[in-house]
């Protein structure tokens, strides 16, 4: 969340711009559109690669989502396929850490996940929007069970360390009070005919009615304590049954100036962004179930623990050198007619590869986002038992940025794992510079400012700083509008016998859908080349 101060007095134009940011996410949408982040999935169903491939061979580098989609579809089309994968598992950033798993990052830090059975952390992707039709279709085809992912929980918390004495407020209270104050302001302006040049008399009456409904205003057009506002922000004493049935209306509406100064309103637009609109999904048992399902299909094609060191092509073939990261030994080589490389650009830029100058420049041009996730296990599900928060996300201005609640095992009465931190930007570099144990303790220290129950319930944790992940060296490709204009098409071209794919070669970066669509586009163009040859 931004830490910029909000002026105590705002012009109407500034206020309306802020309304757009929160109610319609317009500012965010424009920024996302400039970076190509709002493109809807173009997936039209299973790809059809028809024609005689003449025994062509394809070497795929990387068994992440893009690589496994390509392996599955190319094998089905009759290609001879081999995959080289750095890790000892399939999935890439499609990854779930469970109890008993070990992970070693750059610097030699090794973590052994101590979570109880059935509990997990998704260090990479953790949700799938309903309109990401490609990855959802592969889940359906591969039998990956899905369940809802709760993006917006009105009973979750919004927290500022600088406002309201550092006490968190409920999401619904912040949204109701912000909408109510804004609706009252606008309704007064409309009633005084300030917008008559743009609003007809008939529309003015309709607009006043709409503002009254949207903002939960009373009969006089005011946002005040009462039935209307309580039905949005919650009651002091909810309606009941029997002799105690009479409700007490909420009385602690946040004054508009305090609410604006708190900047709590910055969090309530999250669920409005296109990628975060419901419905969202998650695989039952962790995001890594998708990688597991692909491995069941194409695992016999994958050479695991293979670190690529050199990629060379000539007029007739592609040769890739690699070393076994477990057994060691001499450098080995794999050859094929063509190569589809899905290695993240942050890693590929450090590998010798003989492609043209334009593709090489594109490979080197894209930095990768910093990100860190921390999973914390607690001996009881206090967020449900004490605070009635079932799934969803609480937001804060603390460096941890948010706390994500599990969307499974409601009312189980057992232990649970929270996403205790999901850090981006400068704070992510700070977290990544720490040891994993320090990251966990930082998430604990910050989190207990929001949930004091951390003190009595915390048991163990695990932390992944993505710039220290040796096979990614960052979270996702950080394109800018200028970089895309200069390098994107060059990155996606078929360079001799080498083609690239992955979320970095898409207009949906950091999402699995980008990897799926990029892969399908790449192998479609590769197939045309093979058939025409």
Encode 192-234 in three state secondary structure: CCCCCCCCCHHHHHHHHHHHHHHHCCCCCCCCCCCHHHHHHHC
Pick from 42, 50, 106, 23: which is nearest to 528 by CA? 50
For domain 169-262, give its CATH number from 1.10.3720.10, 3.20.20.30, 3.40.50.2300, 1.20.1440.240.
Answer: 1.20.1440.240
Whole-angstrom distance, CA of residue 258 vs CA of residue 252 = 12
Locate 92 and state its tokens: 């890439």
* Tens of pLDDT, residues 419-447: 999 999 999 999 999 999 999 999 999 99
Q: How far apart are the first and last CA of the chain?
A: 53
The two structure tokens encoding residue 106: 């750059």
| Residues written for the chain | 533
109 bridge partner residues: none
Alpha helices in 55-149 (DSSP H): 65-76, 133-142
Report yes or no: 187 and 217 within 8 Å, Cβ to Cβ: yes
For the chain, the 3-state helix, strand and coil shares in percent, each to the nearest 5, are 40, 20, 40
Angle, CA 440 vertex, CA 436 and CA 445 arms, to 5°: 145
* Angstrom distance (rounded) from CA 133 to CA 154: 27
Which of 3.90.660.10, 3.60.21.10, 3.30.1370.60, 3.40.640.10 would CATH assign to domain 97-155+278-285+369-468?
3.90.660.10
Six-digit token string for 5: 């101060």
DSSP 485: I
Q: pLDDT value at position 32? A: 45
Q: Which residues of the chain fall short of a pLDDT of 50?
A: 1-38
Query: In this predicted model, what pLDDT tens digit does every residue of 335-344 receive, in sequence order?
Result: 999 999 999 9
Under 8 Å between Cβ of 280 and 130: yes
Q: What is the pLDDT of residue 481?
A: 95
Give the pLDDT of residue 35: 39
Token duo for residue 349: 């830029």
Peptide bond into 195 cis (omega under 30): no
Tell me, what's the pLDDT at 443?
A: 98
Q: What is residue 282's predicted lDDT score, i.e. its pLDDT?
A: 98
- pLDDT score of 198: 83
* Coil, helix or strand at residue 371: strand
CATH code assigned to 57-90+288-367+478-532 = 3.50.50.60
Closest by CA position to 396, among listed 276, 277, 266? 266
The rounded distance, in Å, linking the Cα atoms of 533 and 337 is: 12
The structural domains of the chain, with segments of one domain joined by +, span 57-90+288-367+478-532, 97-155+278-285+369-468, 169-262
> Tokens standing for 403?
């706390």
């Amino acid at each position: 969340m931004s830490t910029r101060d909000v002026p105590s007095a705002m012009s109407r134009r500034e206020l309306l711009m802020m309304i757009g940011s929160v109610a319609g996410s317009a500012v965010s949408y424009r920024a996302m559109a400039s970076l190509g982040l709002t493109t809807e999935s173009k997936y039209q169903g299973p790809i059809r690669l028809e024609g005689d491939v003449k025994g062509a061979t394809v070497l795929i580098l990387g068994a992440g989502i893009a690589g496994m989609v390509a392996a599955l579809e190319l094998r089905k089309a009759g290609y001879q396929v081999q995959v080289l994968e750095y890790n000892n598992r399939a999935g890439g950033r499609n990854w779930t850490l469970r109890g008993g798993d070990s992970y070693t990052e750059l610097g030699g830090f090794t973590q052994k996940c101590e979570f109880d059975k059935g509990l997990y952390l998704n260090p990479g992707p953790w949700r799938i929007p309903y309109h990401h039709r490609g990855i959802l279709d592969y889940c359906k085809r591969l039998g990956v069970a899905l369940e809802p992912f709760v993006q917006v929980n009105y009973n979750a918390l919004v927290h500022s360390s600088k406002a309201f004495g550092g006490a968190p407020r409920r999401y619904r209270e912040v949204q109701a009070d912000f909408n109510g104050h804004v609706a009252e302001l606008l309704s007064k302006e409309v009633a005084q005919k300030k917008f008559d040049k743009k609003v007809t008399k008939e529309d003015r009456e309709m607009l006043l009615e709409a503002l009254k409904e949207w903002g939960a205003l009373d009969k006089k057009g005011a946002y005040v304590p009462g039935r209307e506002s309580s039905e949005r922000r919650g009651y002091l004493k909810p309606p009941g049954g029997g002799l105690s049935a009479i409700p007490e209306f909420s009385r602690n509406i946040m004054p508009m100036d305090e609410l604006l100064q708190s900047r709590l309103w910055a969090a309530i637009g999250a669920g409005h962004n296109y990628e975060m609109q419901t419905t969202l999904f998650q695989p039952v048992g962790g995001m890594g179930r998708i990688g597991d399902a692909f491995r069941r299909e194409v695992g016999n094609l994958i050479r695991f623990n293979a670190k690529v060191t050199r990629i060379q092509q000539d007029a007739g073939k592609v040769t890739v050198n690699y070393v076994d990261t477990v057994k060691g030994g001499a450098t080995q080589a794999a050859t094929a007619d063509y190569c589809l490389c899905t290695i993240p650009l942050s890693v590929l830029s450090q590998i010798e590869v003989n492609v043209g100058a334009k593709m090489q420049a594109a490979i080197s041009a894209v930095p990768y986002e910093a990100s860190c996730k921390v999973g914390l296990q607690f001996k009881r599900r206090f967020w449900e038992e004490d605070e009635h928060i079932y799934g969803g996300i609480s937001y804060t201005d603390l460096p941890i940025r948010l706390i994500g609640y599990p969307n499974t095992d409601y009312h189980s009465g057992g232990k649970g794992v929270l996403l205790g931190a999901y850090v981006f930007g400068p704070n992510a570099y700070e977290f990544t510079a720490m040891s994993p144990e320090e990251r966990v303790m930082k998430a604990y220290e910050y989190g207990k400012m929001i949930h004091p129950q951390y003190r009595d319930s915390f048991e163990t944790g695990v932390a992944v700083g993505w710039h220290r992940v040796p096979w990614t060296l960052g979270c996702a490709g950080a394109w800018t509008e200028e970089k895309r204009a200069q390098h994107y098409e060059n990155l996606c071209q078929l360079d001799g016998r080498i083609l690239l794919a992955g979320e970095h070669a898409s207009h949906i970066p950091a999402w699995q859908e980008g990897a799926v669509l990029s892969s399908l586009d790449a192998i479609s163009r590769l197939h045309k080349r093979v058939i025409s040859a």
